[in-house]
A and B are shown apart, each in its own frame.
Chain A
Amino acid sequence: MTTNAPTGAIAPNVEQPAPGAPNNWRRFFSFSTDHKVIGIQYIVTAFLFFLIGGLFAMIMRGELITPDADLVDRTVYNALFTMHGTVMLFMWTFPVLNGLANYLVPLMIGARDMAFPRLNAIAFWMVPVFGIILMSSFLVPGGPAQAGWWSYPPVSLQNPGGNLVNGQFLWLVAVALSGVSSIMGAVNIVTTIIKMRAPGMGFFRMPAFVWTVLSAQMIQLFGLPALTAGAVMLLFDLTTGTSFFDPIKGGSPVLYQHFFWFYSHPAVYVIILPVFGIFSEVFPVYARKPLFGYKVVAVSSLIITGLSAIVWVHHMFASGTPGWMRMLFMFSTMLISVPTGIKVFAWVATVWGGKLRLTTPMLFALGGLVMFVFSGITGIMLAAVPFDIHVNNTYFVVGHFHYVIYGATVMGVYAAIYHWFPKMTGRMYYEGLGKLHFALTFIGANLNFFPMHPLGLQGMPRRVASYDPEFAFWNVIASLGGFLLGMSTLPFILNMVSSWVQGKPAPDNPWRAIGLEWLVSSPPPTENFEELPNVIAEPYGYGKDEPLVSNASAMIGTELAPTPSP
């Protein structure tokens, strides 16, 4: 295997920090411009918010374990589901995926850093800022926003406390700032991918993960302005008495819904596309086969980006949407399942006939794929207007998107974290704890989210603090699954912390994976590459025994290159 760096460089590499930058753990708390530091900052910050959002969900599941509204006040429940959705989307999934993209994209395309390192750091440091703004809404009179993460007017404009600075106000400020941060990140990532690829790294030599990140970040560029504008207009309605969206004063609440979903549906693809990329990276490594139909898989990401812009009204089938519009968006929504299906079949074909190794990342990727397929078929059902009208805004939809967001996305993110953990930290994680984590997550997620489907079919609306006793059975199971899911994070945290502190030192390429990031040391030096790689092959050359770059030893630097044993 000439493609892979020899596994001789066992000792964690000595860092070569930029002049004046701290080179120990303190760099993670500094305004570092190193994309790898920023990547880990994103991932860890996002994970803390994941725990907070999960705690909200567990209180909600505690409320829903009985039919009556008896654990918390209805206003508290409404605030919790609003904050749960907001935190999980804006503070967890977007930042954690940005973190992975930040860490991996420059390494994968052979760049020394992002195109705009300082902008990168600013975009990250906005995350804790708007995170704190959002959390501080628990302390203002009237409590946090209680209008759901959609913040549909007129409910979001009601402001019963009458204060100018209320939970909804802070919510809108936080979401607008999150939009600005994400746009900054998107400009940076798109520029990096287009302009900073190493010599020989043509578009069709980029790993599929880079393709999906590019597609996802392009959505941020065209979609986020709509949401951010909508949020700012709603903020004006709330504070200065304009009436863009207030029907009583002649505004149009349906217009807000269009603004909101024009971004927030494509946002689902911002989330799921990089996870598709993770699947495309993980399956070939642990099945020891090239990604099946790589070019089609790569291009299908861009097709998804295009189609994602013309499906948003399917969120509004039961809203003030005329029949012709319902039909039109049913057809466009059905179409988007085709490029998605291509990817699924390609992964199955990649795994088929391979030499599988069921490590923790592979288990998470396989489990994530199965749960994604389930969410995909319920997604096609939801696209069918007559059926959607029955289950729209019921727990069926909640179950569907939790299979997407937890089943596929969180499982995919876990797969990525385990897969690249040795690269990021220079340490190996504990396989046993990883497998335990997978088992708890997979069982917990299915126990939690599957029961939501029968509940929705039976007609239980989403966002309810109380429900008719007929729904109790499935809700108890869902709650137990939710608590199990909460517990499942414990072995993960234990594994990550203890492995980083005292895990076995990781070689450069513990998985015998093909990719530029696996040719450099673990963790990579500050500038990533001594000499920019000269890429001479397509990715995923498993079983082909061909070199990926022509300058492997110059790339990692002569003084870092391991001396071949005599």
Chain B
Amino acid sequence: MKTRTFLTLAIAAIVLAAISWWIGQMSYSWMPPEASIEAKLVDDLFSLLVAVASFIFLGVTGTLLYSAVFSRAAKYDTSDGPPIEGNVAVEVVWTVIPFVIVMGIAFYSYQIYDQMDVHGPMEHRHAAVPTDAAAPQVPTERPAEVEEIEVLAWQWAWEFRYPNANVSSTELHVPSDRRIRLALKADSVIHGFYVPAFRLKQDIIPRTDAQLEFTPILEGTYRLRDSQYSGTYFAAMQADVVVQSPEDYDQWLTLAASQPPATAYNQAVYEYERAAKKPISAGWKSVPPAPAPMVNYAADPQPVSPQAAIPTPEDKQS
């Protein structure tokens, strides 16, 4: 009897583990494209998390479902079940194993975080300890050359500045296979720099500069979204991120530098002015948006709402 119980449990666990591993492999397809080295690292972690989670969830719900189906009391059966009050061995097992699992996940996450080496906020403040010198485990594929770009978060507009090329833009262009270092600045309220395809996010707090480092690897156009609620037009505060080959990127910089700065289209400004023209307000008073940024390169306007008509062509500067 005891051997049979053990065998049944072992087979159930093996089947469950196989299914969980399969779900873990599926999990890669639930994510946006892997457009950076960091994205690959995060997705590996996520796959592990999903596999472990599936095992636990299926195990618990499977057991409950089995009980609900096969352990029902008969209609007139008023007797009680066996008065089992506990089992020390079992309780120790289900304390120790989860402890080991979550600590394992934590250490693995620590390693992943270390490899991402995103240089988040305030890292420079804590730089008294020479952490960088003591950390030679930089991934080999990481390029040595670093591209520095400034990100300015207005309420509600993204502006990107390329100090070395004297270019400003409302579209973030980055070269692929090069380390990018962003200097993040916010004007009046907190914003969040978030590019799902890079799996990167960093709040930008006014008067507290933050940094973010990453390496884009997949050419294409992705979305940058404000991830920290920033007031009325928060949802409209988006921009495109274009990952280009280094040659295309240099070409783009040269082209943009030759353009005279002009006012870019800005969804928040557009909607705010449109609302001001309406005789009756459908909402409450909003903080006025910051003026639309003056940039060399303005992205094509993409109205977030179809009610927003395409603005006049002089707003286009591409």
Contacts and interface: CB of A to CB of B under 8 A. Distances in A.
Interface of A: 68-70, 72-76, 78-79, 141-143, 146-148, 152, 154-155, 158, 160-161, 247-248, 253-254, 287-296, 318-324, 326-327, 330-331, 334-335, 337-338, 341-342, 344-346, 348-349, 351-358, 366, 369-370, 373-374, 376-378, 380-381, 383-387, 389-390, 392-394, 454, 457-459, 461-468, 512, 540-544
A155 B269 CA distance: 18
B227 A393 contact: yes
Contact of A292 (B32, B86, B122): B86
A76 B282 contact: yes
Contacts of A380: 49, 52-53, 102, 105
B64 A318 contact: no
Interface in B38-86: 38, 41-42, 45-46, 49-50, 52-53, 56-57, 60-61, 63-64, 67-68, 71-73, 77-86
B229 interface: yes
Interface string B208-229: 1010000000000001011111
A397 B199 CA distance: 15
Given A160-B287, A464-B234, A466-B235, A288 B98 contact: no
B53 A378 contact: yes
B133 to A, nearest CB: 16
Interface stretch (B4-12, B137-145, B301-309): B301-309
B194 A459 contact: yes
A141 B305 CA distance: 27
B29 to A, nearest CB: 10
A330 B73 contact: no
Interface stretch (B108-116, B171-179, B244-252, B255-263): B108-116
B123 A69 contact: no
Given A348-B60, A373-B61, A381-B46, A296 B86 contact: yes
B103 interface: yes
Top 9 A-B pairs, shortest CB-CB distance: A459-B196, A73-B283, A543-B83, A464-B235, A143-B284, A543-B80, A377-B53, A355-B73, A75-B283
Interface in B256-314: 271, 275, 281-288, 304-307
27 contacts: A69-B304, A75-B285, A75-B286, A141-B285, A155-B229, A155-B231, A247-B207, A253-B205, A289-B81, A290-B84, A293-B87, A296-B86, A331-B103, A342-B95, A353-B67, A356-B73, A373-B61, A381-B49, A383-B102, A386-B199, A389-B200, A390-B46, A393-B228, A461-B194, A463-B234, A465-B235, A543-B83
B122 A353 contact: no
Interface string B180-200: 000000001110101011011
A373 B233 CA distance: 36
A454 B264 CA distance: 33
Given A253-B205, A458-B32, A540-B85, 6 more contacts: A73-B282, A73-B283, A74-B232, A141-B285, A291-B85, A353-B82
Nearest to B39: A390
Contact of B126 (A72, A290, A322, A542): A322
B287 to A, nearest CB: 5
Given A293-B91, A374-B57, A78 B232 contact: yes
Contacts of B78: 512
Contacts of A543: 80-83
A161 B80 contact: no
Given A293-B91, A390-B42, A466-B304, A384 B202 contact: no
Nearest to B288: A160
B98 A323 contact: no
A467 B235 contact: yes
A93 B73 CA distance: 33
Contacts of B50: 381
Nearest to B304: A466
A541 B83 contact: yes
A320 B235 contact: no
Contact of A381 (B53, B116, B227, B230): B53
A356 B72 contact: yes
A393 B201 contact: yes
Contacts of A154: 188-190, 206
B2 interface: no
A160 B123 CA distance: 35
Contact of B284 (A79, A322, A346, A392): A79
Given A370-B64, A385-B113, A161 B232 contact: no
B31 A457 contact: yes
Nearest to A384: B109
B102 A69 contact: no
Contact of B201 (A358, A390, A540): A390
A254 B190 CA distance: 10
Contacts of A158: 189, 231, 287
Nearest to A159: B287
B99 interface: yes
